Amino acid sequence: MRDEKCIFCKIANGEIPSNTIFEDEEFRAILDLAPATKGHALILPKNHFENLFELPEEIAAKAMVLAKRLACEMKDRLDCDGFNIMQNNGEIAGQTVFHFHMHLIPRYKDDGQTIEWDKREAGPEELESVRKQITGC
Instruction: Give the closest residue to 9 by CA, choosing from 23, 27, 21.
Output: 27
Cα–Cα distance for residue pair 23/44, rounded to 1 Å: 10
Q: Can you tell me whether residue 17 is helix, strand or coil? A: coil
Amino acid at 137: C
Is 99 marked active-site?
Answer: no
Binding residue (CB under 6 A) for ligand 5GP from 21, 30, 44, 104: 30
Q: Could you tell which of ligand 5GP, Zn ion, none binds residue 50, using a CB distance below 5 to 8 A set by kind?
A: none
Beta-carbon contacts of 53 under 8 Å, excluding residues fewer than 6 positions away, are 89
Q: Which of residues 67-96 bind ligand 5GP (CB under 6 A)?
A: 88, 94-96
* Contact string 94-113 vs Zn ion (x = CB under 5 A): -----x--------------
E strands in the chain? 20-23, 27-31, 41-45, 82-86, 102-107
Choose which of 3, 23, 26, 32 interacts with ligand 5GP (CB under 6 A): 32
| Rounded least distance, CB 71 to ligand 5GP, Å | 17
Q: Is 48 in the site for Zn ion (CB under 5 A)?
A: yes
Applying CB under 6 A, the residues found at the interface with ligand 5GP are 7, 11, 18, 30, 32-34, 42, 88, 94-97
